[in-house]
Structure 1
Amino acid sequence: MDVNDDIESPLKLKISFNRLLEHYETMSDSEDEFIANKANKVLEIAKKHPELRDGFSDVSLLKTREKEIQILLQDTFSPLLTKNEIKTASVPLHDLIFNSSERFKNIIKTAGGDFELQIKNMPQNDMYIMACTIILNFCYGYNLNFKRPFYYQIPDENGILRYYKILYNADFCEIIPTDNAPKITKEDYDELLDNFDNIEIWKEKFPPHSYLFKGFVISNIFDVTDDQSISNIKSNLIIDETCMEDSFADNFRDIFSSLFGIKDVKVGFSIYNKEDDTFEKVHGIGANSFLINNADSKECKECLCSWSYERLLKENKYFSVSDVDKLYKISKGKAPHIVALHEQGIKSAIFAPIANEQGLMGILEIVSYTPQELNSINANKLLDVMPFIVSAVERSTNEEENLIEAIIQQECTSIHPSVSWKFKQAAKKFLIDSQKNQIEKPSFSKIAFDNVYPLFGQIDVKGSSDARNLATQKDLALQLTLVDKILDIIPKNEELPIYEQLKFQIEAFNQAIKADFKVDTEHELTRFFKEEIEPLFIFFLEKKDFAKEEIEDYFSKVDTNLNVIYYYRKNYDDTIALINKNMSALLDHKQIEAQNMYPHFFERFKTDGVEHNMYIGESITKEESFNTIYLYNLRLWQLQVMYEMENDFYQNQDEYPIGLDVASMILVFNQPLSIRFRMDEKQFDVDGTYNARYEVVKKRVDKAFIKGTEERVTQKGKMSIIYSQKEDEIEYLKYVRFMQSKKMFDDDVEILELQDLQGVTGLKAIRVSMIYHKNNGNDNVFYTYDDLMKEIKA
């Protein structure tokens, strides 16, 4: 076997001891007789075997001349140091080792028979280019610094990976150009400097085997497991994405296994919530907390004894538990953190506070299932890594705060991503102005967008006020009935005239609920239950021995916060909340595809249903790319999505606690307008008196009547499109016909005139019935509203 087999390199390798022998030639002239005699003996061996000086590539000669090579290398591999030094003699950029110290041999033996020694961080192309840079240095004097730290990764007897850094001694090497080696010019060198990644250029300048390497290298190897573990911890913590992966905790466990030299070590984290004085589980990184025993959160004083609480939270110092079972017996199971460890089968542990100048942020928990493996001595290893963990937690905390701010902005304000550039621009100007001018207070620039087209739509729960009132009536009537029954079972000898008066009041309230229910009625009844009935029933429970079971049943049905029965109203409120949640989620999901079609401003509001505003135009996109085709596309998209929202509502009506109806409406505004962000209200609104007409129509149009009738324009089972211009009618009738072809709208299209609103005249409406698709995998099943109601009730 040739040493050059299966290796692509500009160097043709020959193992040679010529440079080493030249050193011995110098030593043979030494005045020290012992040194001279030894040098002459080495030279005599080399003279008998000229291949040792001339060089060879046949690997089998390493075995044949093993004894002679060991004599040649005796001074470089001292027998006195062989059990301590980790050292090898090898061929450069190659895994072939032909001589090594006893300690290195033992390390490889411990790794196991199937272990294959390899330099871990040397890509094949990099090896070729590194060889080229060595040639540039040796043969042309260009000192290109391409030195990188190289490592072996070798498991120890416990299977724990240990890291060994390799330092090369190249004193015994020589490189000689062959006849087919192109001469490297200054122009070639300049070209190579800018083409590290272009392996073909390097191969052109340094063809394979165009230079002869004669010699060998000595590798001095050092165990740098601790340093590498610390470096790995830094790397894992620096990369933001890594910290959010579920594999983060597993990576950390492997790193700390290497750092402590313990195979079964595990790593946990818990976050300290200062406001609630609790420890909380860290989500999203695959990490458990051994301190809180995998609960989501726990009060600190329930997790720690008084000493450990003081140690971690007040002093911010780490502590270890070297023998959990022993301490469990001594503390008689009364130390919470020892109990938690004992219950999880943990035998030794270290708890280290993650703290900065502001105080505790969290706890690093390192545990082992073997007694005494973790202790106060090896806990000191954490001193080198805790600063990086603290820094990472600080960064993570800041990022979480920023994320929370972003969520608040998304959920609670109207700063949509499509217009955020304008806010950033204004904020940057504000910041520069405040830095330039130390006296006057700078003002925040006006945020406005001109010539944008508005789109408005809403899906509203029909008869929501009536449904809410009915639910309230049912709750109050039920509570009156329960009170009346309790008053009925008061014993004869306990009856008082006041109880008769209460029963009279109850009857009067029942009549009021049925005949003339008002908001005042609800307030009056709530006061009646709280101030007159509740104190009386509490008195009965404490002082009397009758109706206890009935009174306890009454209190079990009364909401403790509202002091009234909240059953039917809860069903109503839960239904409205669920409708809003489901329809908002569908609209938000569909908005993603709409933004991809063309960016535009979007906002939605939850009322008794869901409303949304959209504005589209050149001033929002900040690019010269707007065309009215994008407006028409967004209008059609809006119509289709509102159909999908209503269809989804009715197909999933069985999810809702009570049955309600919805009505859909779109408002079309023909002219572009200006919108401005109102700082006081923290939302966008139309800008200017003329544009205010649009806002008036938006707020009132869903309550508008068809001209000459008492019929509302918005009706369940129908889509209402409100407009004022003939061209809008023509446009939307095209969309309606298109959706009729898709079996989304029925054929009963109505063109309706609306009664005038305050300050607004000439409004018209297109109204058309929807055809609902049943979600059963069969696209051919269609329902009108009446068909769907029969199907649902069947």
Structure 2
Amino acid sequence: MIKYDQPESPMLLKIGFNKLIEQYEDMLTSDDAFVVDKAKRILDVQKPYPELRDGFTDFALLNTYKKQINFLLQDAFSPVLTQNEIKSASVPFQDIIFNKSERFKKIIDLAGEDFELKIMNLPEDDTYIMACAVILKFCYGFNVSFKRPFYYEIPDANGVSRFYKIMYNADFCEITPTEKAPKITQEDYDELLDNFENIELWKSKFPPNSYVFKGFVISNMFDVTDDQSISNIKSNLIEKGKHREKDYGEDFQKIFNSLFGVNNLKVGFSTYNAEKDTFEQVYGAGITSFLLHGLENASCRDTLCNWSYNKLMKENKYFSISNVEKTLAFVGDQAPHLKILFDQNIKSVIFAPVANDEGLMGVLEIVSDKPQVLNSINANKLVDVMPFIVSAVERSRKEEENLIEAVIQQECTSIHPSVYWRFEKEARKFIKSEYSGEPATFSKIAFEDVYPLYGQIDIKGSSEARNLATRKDLTLQLNAVKSILEKASEIEALPIYEQFIFQVDAYLDGLNKHFQVDSEQQISEFFKQDIESVLRHLYIKEELKLAIDKYFESIDAKINLVYKYRKDYDDTIALINKEMAALLDKKQVKAQAMYPHYFERFKTDGVEHNMYVGESITQEDSFNPIYLYNLRLWQLQVMCEMENAYYQMQSNFPVTLDVASMVLVFNQPLSISFRMDEKQFDVDGTYNARYEIVKKRVDKAYIKGTKKRVTEKGKITIVYSQKQDEREYLRYIKFLQSKKYVGTDVEIVELEDLQAVTGLKAIRVSVLYHKNEADKAFYTYSDLMKEIKS
């Protein structure tokens, strides 16, 4: 009998079903006739095969007795649950599995033929000692806590790794010592507890193959991929940061009691928020602020007197008060910080600013409940240690910034700088909740009463251009196939070649007369199902080899079709989007400097952008409608500049396409909120949703009474609904006319009603172009095209 090459282990592994069979033998005494009958049937199946009970080391017998083993395990592996449970029978600490549930089989099959199932976090060096720990418990009753979760990492059908936690049921295992097994005593156990890494000691107590393992374990697996994905960054980073903060506070306490030679000192710390000029509480165990006295934050001006404020905040110098009670009696209400300290029974104190080259970061507070323990003389001891304190605070602040960034990136993805402060605020609350042990949830991010601006520079006729490119590619490929088939008919006059030529001609005629949505799919299937096999058959003919090689060289490997004209089209779209987006981003830098506002852009068949401006976004009492008007004018001007830039670089693109620009005016403020599921801002409320509807549909709208689209190449279109918007934008157009951005052919049109939206109008005006940046002349679109072609 060929035995499995088992790894070195204190246990000789035998697969057997004795413990399970014993349970069925016990069931023979049941009062339930159904149970007795079932037990008899199972025992009858096993009886002719005693090795199933005695156990075997030749694991190839798992296949020999596969049918009998499945029958034996039918209660443990219910057919009713096999499609749902991830389950198998196996040998402990080995990757030998059998009797897999159907769901587990599917998971393994999807992993691919080359996949090798292996426990991902089972160190080979520890396997021997782990087996010894199991023996200690089974045979001697010593409960060695060596449990740890094990996982399989298995790729899914898309090659994405998924993680499955393994839970073992060891009810059907037996471990018995052989004559080679030394008896383990309490002294042996005590010695082993202190020598985990001494493998030779373990082997002397548990020689290889000195015990026999007989049985099997049932492995239940659970998909924990989502849990790991959700908690990975949040748990690891935040927990790690909390640990560092705790050590940071304990180190402060230890350093200063030793430094000052007393053991009744307490150390506090308050961070400084330069933007708000406030002291703020530090998060973390063991760290408090005596200046804040339980408050989350407080104004520096309200907390300190004028002298102490200048000393700490302006001069960045430390000072001491050796007798708080006496000083307070002398200065009274002029020193609010002294009253705060007195209420906490603090009798002497040193305040030390923690500052670097960039400014104040916080204030170190060393306090004592005894007067004169801290004074201006021993305060000089801080000179030698302050550089280290500054470094520690810098590191702590950097870690907190990293935590905030990690939470924001995890919960919200990349955030525009104009609204970053709001996400930072919620991230701080999130981390605070983590520190305090409360449930940590990221609250809804919303901005009310903001004015929207929307614009787009859209590629005109993109669908038609794409279809044309597709038709040209398919025509090229069909003609190439037809040429080969015609030559094949001359060599070998088979009717099937004529039938294929007839089919090719039908497809060519269809492409010329009525190209439809499914035409590409039908022709693609024709190439794949019929033509490829024919061409491979014809490749044996020497006269056709060159033409067939040339045909297959023209085929794109990714789409399995000719990809010439479509590639030119796709490359053009990508270049347009890249250049237009880069120009818009560059212009946005100046717009943000004028007044902060939210901005986002999207690449589609062209470039779209959203902007929101309002008081709730800027975080300060500074918003005035003038900033909205300025941004609207800026938007119009930039759209004209983008049109100019596009036509100046149009000749560099593989395909000549036209663009049309549009802005949408919405004169009522609305509310927006961040959608955590989609990682983007969206409007709130039913009324505000009308704005989104118009945005999505208006560029396809028709001028009322015509079949003419409202957007047109060579013109900029301004869509609006209120008369006051019309007056406002006509003023902007007049100004832009004076700057030679737009022409004089202003027209106002009504739009056909959109679904659930009526009363829309549009101003349309021609954009004036330059042939290049150095050109001083102005051209309308038609003039520009004539100049370019001349």
Q: What TM-score comes out, normalization by structure 2 length?
A: 0.48
Q: Which has the larger radius of gyration?
A: 1
